[in-house]
């Protein structure tokens, strides 16, 4: 059973949304914003990307309806804008190759910058359609039921996929 409410899920369907997701920096910005609202300066520092690039990519995500402004704060040099995701979770009914490639590129960049060890495993196994369906269901439940620490802590990325190899 999923702990995610329907309001926290955004279905990706428009060409503009798919185009916005087809860049690793935009994927990384969405990862970073999953921790809550943030500013261009904080996002640039967190991702190791210049502020102009962050601003450009946030604009593309905003135009696609994937992020929105989340208020402002007065600072000594002017006004800082905060941005947040429009939903906790994005669901792609039909993933596109360019978006998937960007996602994997973003994950690769995140793994490279990770201050802690990580798990990365690729395994190919023969499964009947029924066993594959049970495994997919179990993996989805495991991801859905993962609970965050009440006191917070470092954010961890979790990427899970199960696919059938072409031609088999």
In the Cβ-directed half-sphere of 76, how many Cα atoms lie within 13 Å? 0
Report yes or no on 46 lying in a domain.
yes
Structural domain count of the chain = 1
Report yes or no on 136 lying in a domain.
no
Report yes or no on 159 lying in a domain.
no
Report yes or no on 134 lying in a domain.
no
The list of the chain residues with pLDDT below 50 reads: 1-5
On whether the CB atoms of residues 105 and 96 are closer than 8 A, the answer is no
pTM above 0.85, yes or no: no
pLDDT of 151 reads 81
- Residue 20: how many other CB atoms lie within 10 Å: 25
Report yes or no on 151 lying in a domain.
no
**Domain interval for residue 65:** 6-118
pLDDT of 2 reads 38
pLDDT of 1 reads 34
On whether the CB atoms of residues 125 and 131 are closer than 8 A, the answer is no
Residue 134: what are its φ and ψ, rounded to 5°?
-65, -40
Q: What is the secondary structure of 41-66 as a DSSP string?
A: HHHHHHHT--HHHHHHHHHHHHHTTS
pLDDT of 7 reads 60
The CATH number assigned to the domain holding 86 equals 1.10.10.10
């Amino acid at each position: 059973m999923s702990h995610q409410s329907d309001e926290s899920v955004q279905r990706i369907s428009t060409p503009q949304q798919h185009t916005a997701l087809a860049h690793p920096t935009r994927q990384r910005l969405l990862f970073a914003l999953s921790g809550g609202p943030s500013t261009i300066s904080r996002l640039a520092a967190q991702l190791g990307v210049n502020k102009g690039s962050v601003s450009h990519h946030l604009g593309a995500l905003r135009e696609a309806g994937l992020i929105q402004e989340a208020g402002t704060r007065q600072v000594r040099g002017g006004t800082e804008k905060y941005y947040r995701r429009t939903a906790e979770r994005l669901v792609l009914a039909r993933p596109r190759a360019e978006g998937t490639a960007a996602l994997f590129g973003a994950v690769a960049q995140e793994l490279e910058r990770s201050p802690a060890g990580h798990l990365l495993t690729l395994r190919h196994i023969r499964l009947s359609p029924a066993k594959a369906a049970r495994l997919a269901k179990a993996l989805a439940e495991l991801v859905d039921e993962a609970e965050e620490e009440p006191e917070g802590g470092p954010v961890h990325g979790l990427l899970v996929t199960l696919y059938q190899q072409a031609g088999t």
